[in-house]
Homo-oligomer: A and B are copies of this chain.
Amino acid sequence: MKLSTRGKYGLYAMFDLAKHAGEGPRALQSIAATGVPKQYLEQLLGNLRRAGLVSTVRGAQGGYLITRPTNEISLLNIIDAVEGPIELSECTSDEHTCERSCGCPVRWVWQQVTDSINAELDKIKLSDMLIQPCESEERTHEKDHLHG
């Protein structure tokens, strides 16, 4: 089970835009300075724009702008935008793809997991990342008292 790089890159981009909020449009060039391939990032920013998380200004001196306060943007918003909705191998998304449907307990449990993951992703906001100090190493063993 793996999230693709899209989610990570999207998060980098949003994080960068959040840090430079209020400075006017930020060019792709600048955002990509974090190490993400420029033209690939452009695609992802397109997704973020269509999801309403960023807006754009075209033309010279143009660029990307974050549209909402950072505490109103969750990880779920970002990941949904760049990767599409979380989906556990067909069972949960469409009632008709699995002939077991109602009698199938796997279907029920899959739905539970999907809901849980979405809920967890929605708890973490972009603003949480901005205030996070440099101590990821020290807190790996006492990790579940912040949002749990």
Chain A interface (Cβ within 8 Å of chain B)? Answer: 1-5, 7-8, 11-12, 15, 75, 79, 83-89, 91, 101-113, 115-117, 119-121, 123-124, 128-130, 132, 134, 136-137, 140, 143-144, 146-148
A102 cross-chain contacts in B, Cβ below 8 A:
134, 136-137
Q: Are B89 and A8 in contact (CB under 8 A)?
A: yes
Chain A interface helix/strand/loop/mixed:
helix
Given the interface contacts A109-B11, A124-B112, does A1 sit within 8 Å of B86 by beta carbon? yes
Known: A15-B105, A111-B143; 17 extra A-B contacts, CB below 8 A, are A1-B3, A1-B84, A2-B88, A3-B87, A3-B88, A7-B88, A8-B89, A75-B113, A101-B136, A102-B136, A104-B136, A105-B129, A105-B132, A112-B146, A113-B124, A117-B117, A119-B148
Shortest distance between the CB of A86 and any CB in chain B (Å): 5
Shortest distance between the CB of A123 and any CB in chain B (Å): 8
Q: Are B136 and A111 in contact (CB under 8 A)?
A: yes
Q: Which of these, B7, B89, B128, contacts A7 with CB under 8 Å? A: B89
8 tightest A-B contacts by CB?
Answer: A116-B120, A3-B88, A105-B129, A108-B136, A1-B86, A105-B132, A8-B89, A102-B134
